[in-house]
Structure 1
Amino acid sequence: MRVLQVLGSSAGGVGRHVGQVASALGAAGHRVVVAGPSEVRPLVGGDVPFEVVAIADRPRAGDVAAVRRLAALGRDADVVHAHGLRAGALAVLAVRGLRRAPADGRHAPRVVVTLHNLPVGGRAVRGVSAVLERVVARGADVVLGVSPDLVALAGARGARRTGLALVPAPQASAAAEAASVRATRDGLGLAGDERLVVTVARLAPQKGLDVLVAAAGEVQGLSGSWRWVVAGVGPLRAGLEAEVRASGVPVELLGARDDVPALLAAADVVVSAARWEGQPLWLQEALANGAAIVATDVGGTSAVTGEAARLVSPLPPADLAGRLGAAVAGLLSDDGARDALRRLARERAARLPTERDVVEQLEAVYRAGPAPA
């Protein structure tokens, strides 16, 4: 099949996912082209044909040109598979024009949209998102979501056919070796009996790092030495550093790291405090490295971890930090519970979707007949 994958601006995760899926589809014999802004090309990878289409994260005058460009690229495709709400809406509009004016007797491509994020923001942002959600839901042949709540949202907006998207585990998720784990702990300056808590997150509001700092305060009364490190970069760094200094908690912002698997394997406890997640790749890596995980039960997190994590409800939000901190403290003080979770994590990792699973799902979605009217 000829597949046009479309994406807009990406902080990283969606772009890498599209590149991984495009490469896997290509290896399975499909002709794949990726279209998106020039800045996401490095995320997609150099082994996939790429066409530059300026798709911004907010509506703008250039959207008309983007729709026309997608329509031109879509004429040679059997399927247009867009990732994200903005890219999905533009793809729907582009193919709608092809269906109204078919060229040379060729059939217009099917449209598949994968929703990767829950829209957040003020009333204006939510209002625009609701319009785009209806455009996508009513114009796409199939809408996939990376979390159950996104699937439900698409159905509520009128999507005719929906499903939970499979997200393959990262190719580099092989368990870290013991030597790299020791080197990582030594590099952090940890004492032999010092316990380590690890979070991997973009320093952005969605990741709930303000709650993380407050939760660390709840762990302060735990006996023994421990440290909580956060690997990642983002716009909230300066504010978080000030918050950590003011609270006096042993939280350290490490910045960007190229040894995330070793960090996760070295951790006594791995924590996600996110307000929303799709199917977080870093938690898939944590499972592969046998981590004892505590995570907020949001979005598609439970779809990744299953029973191999202590999940903390985000409601009520007023005492989330206390409940998250209590869960972390409980694991840090219970060697048996940590070991049990580590065994469950490795078992769960062995059942996570592979690239082959994703290709098989998409081939079925791409080849299915038209969605019911």
Structure 2
Amino acid sequence: MTPVSSHAPHGQSALRTVQVLGGGNAGSSAHVRSLAAGLVARGVKVTVCAPAETERIHDFTGAGAEHVDVARSSDPVAVAGLRAACAGADLVHAHGLHASFRAALALSGRRERVPLVVTWHDRVPAEGPRGQLLRVLERRVARAATVMLGTTPGLVDHARRSGARDARLAAVALPGPRPAADPEDTDRRRPKIRAELGATGRPLLIAVGALERQRGHGTLCDAARVWRDLDPVPLVVVAGEGPLRSALQRRIEEEDLPVTLAGRRDDVADLLAAADLALLPGRHEMGSVPARQALHAGVPLVAADTEGIRELAGDAAELVPADDAEALADAVVRLLGDAGRRELLRANGTRQTAGWPTEDDTVAQVLSVYDELTQVRTFV
């Protein structure tokens, strides 16, 4: 696709957009960074509202956008800050459930109606009181959004069931891992990353995801007990933060499991590129950003067999029954001993991602939605 030099016609003010992020999802943050760069290159003014830590990691200002520090909170102070940042915007685009809920609050009660575009990148259903709260938030967001974009057909269907008036499939591309363009650089970086993690001379297994019950880290720890008997013992590195950190760390220490909790990382693509296998044991994965990152990085993926993962990965992943630690352990042991199968999964992943949207495709679709929703703007 040939880039457009300027989106605004001669004599017309540039489109002013606000991108709202919660700061908790590295994949959606990387997507917004890429989207901001593409929009700015086409003459669109972009403001990214996100926590300061997210700006530090993703450098939205380096992409030509303005950054406004907005906390990941729905308290009145944070919402007021977001409302101020959205003043004068032609359109607001929020990414993820919590960010879009805050955006809906910030835009409510305004005299002039500002279009709200919402992108859902993934969804992890919850049960009990938290699940009920999330469903309430989903319905509120779906009804407030002018257009909802979902990264998979399943997410689009869920948006419609939640009350969305206009739900569409999003052409969302995750930026490829930085080393992919330079194989020699990849070869140099891989041993350094493995040494840093303590995986020299042993298999490295990477799991990416928040430390929450639905992500299957308990199943992962159960499987890791089997891997202790391998020689050499594989190291499992979990990139992510969440409320289960203390409980998981206590279990790892008490059972002497070969698992390291690495916390939130800003180099997930590099970690995956250095791994022998990527693991995704969660039973509730829809439009999974970690799965997309793993396939982009060209690492064989072992994942719980869910509709979302089957839809996303096709034959590029080794699928196991959800919540089945024995099946997960067996699949990993089998793959570690079968270089041919690992290479086949890599090849299948390369073929699968080749059909995914490019970053230019993403910008083009988003701009078409923006144009559809915005009226003729004031001439300068």
**TM-score (norm. length: structure 2):** 0.77
What stretches of structure 1 move > 6 A for 4+ residues in a row?
256-259
Match in the other structure for 1:50: 67
Distance in 2, matches of 1:355 and 1:69, equals: 30
Q: Which aligned pairs between 1:237-256 and structure 2 lie closer than 5 A?
A: 237-254=245-262
Secondary structure of residue in 1 paired with 2:179? coil
Q: 1:122 to 1:40 in 2, by over 3 A?
A: same
Once residues 342 and 127 of structure 2 are traced to their aligned partners in structure 1, the CA distance between those partners, rounded to angstroms, is 40
Q: Distance in 1 between matches of 2:142 and 2:266?
A: 38
C-alpha separation in 1, matches of 2:259 and 2:30: 29
**1:338 counterpart residue number:** 342
Alignment partner, residue 214 of structure 1: 222
CA offset at residue 270 of structure 1? 2.2
Q: How many Å separate the matches in 2 of 1:93 and 1:234?
A: 27
Gaps of 5+ in 2: 1-14, 375-380
Distance 2:147 2:200 in 1: 50
Equivalent pair of 1:18/1:44 in contact (CA under 8 Å):
no
**SS in structure 2 of the partner of residue 322 of structure 1:** helix
Cα 1:239–1:149 shift into 2, 3 Å = same
Partner of 1:141: 146
- d(CA) in 1 for partners of 2:308 and 2:232? 33
Are the structure 2 counterparts of residues 69 and 259 from structure 1 closer, same or farther at C-alpha, using a change threshold of 3 Å? Answer: closer
Q: State the AA in 1 paired with 2:55.
A: R
- Which of 89, 107, 112 does residue 101 from structure 2 map onto? 89
**Pair 1:35-2:40 in alignment:** no
Distance 2:256 2:51 in 1: 42
Counterpart pick for 2:332 among 318, 328, 347: 328
Q: Which residue of 2 aligns with 1:69?
A: 84
Q: Contact 2:57–2:266 (CA<8 Å) still a contact in 1?
A: no
Query: Aligned residues: percent identity?
Result: 35
Rounded to whole Å, the distance in 1 between the matches of 2:223 and 2:84 is: 48
Tell me which amino acid in the other structure corresponds to 2:325.
Answer: A
Query: Do the aligned partners of residues 28 and 242 (structure 1) sit closer, same or farther apart at CA in structure 2, a change above 3 Å counting?
Result: same
SS in 1 for 2:24: coil
- In structure 2, relative to structure 1, the CA distance for the partners of 1:20 and 1:226 (3 Å cut) is same
Query: In structure 1, which of residues 98, 123, 126 is the aligned counterpart of residue 131 of structure 2?
Result: 126
Which residues in structure 2 correspond to 1:109-120 (within 5 Å)? 109-118=114-123
How many Å separate the matches in 1 of 2:253 and 2:175?
34
Q: Which of 170, 184, 190 is the aligned partner of 1:181?
A: 190
Note the residue ranges of structure 1 that are not aligned, 5 or more in a row: 103-107
Query: Mean Cα displacement is larger for which, 135-144 or 164-173?
Result: 164-173
What CA distance in whole angstroms lies between the structure 2 residues aligned with 1:292 and 1:53?
A: 37
Q: Is the 8 A contact 1:143 1:162 kept in 2?
A: yes
CA contact (8 A) 2:122 2:289 kept: no
Structure 1 length as normaliser, TM-score? 0.79
Give the direction of change, closer, same or farther, for the CA distance of 1:91–1:291 in structure 2 (3 Å limit).
closer
SS of 1:35 mapped into structure 2: strand
Instruction: Please say if 1:360 is aligned against 2:364.
Output: yes
- Letter in structure 2 aligned against 1:294: V
What is the CA deviation profile of residues 95-120 of structure 1, one whole-angstrom value per residue up to 9, with x for unaligned ones?
Answer: 4534xx34xxxxx3322111245365
SS of 2:341's partner is helix
Per mean C-alpha deviation after superposition, the further-off stretch among 336-345 and 303-312 is 303-312
Query: Do 2:175 and 2:359's aligned partners in 1 also have CA atoms closer than 8 Å?
Result: no
> Counterparts of 1:308 and 1:145 in 2: how far apart (Å)?
22
Change beyond 3 A, Cα 1:245–1:159: same
Cα drift, residue 142 of structure 1: 0.9
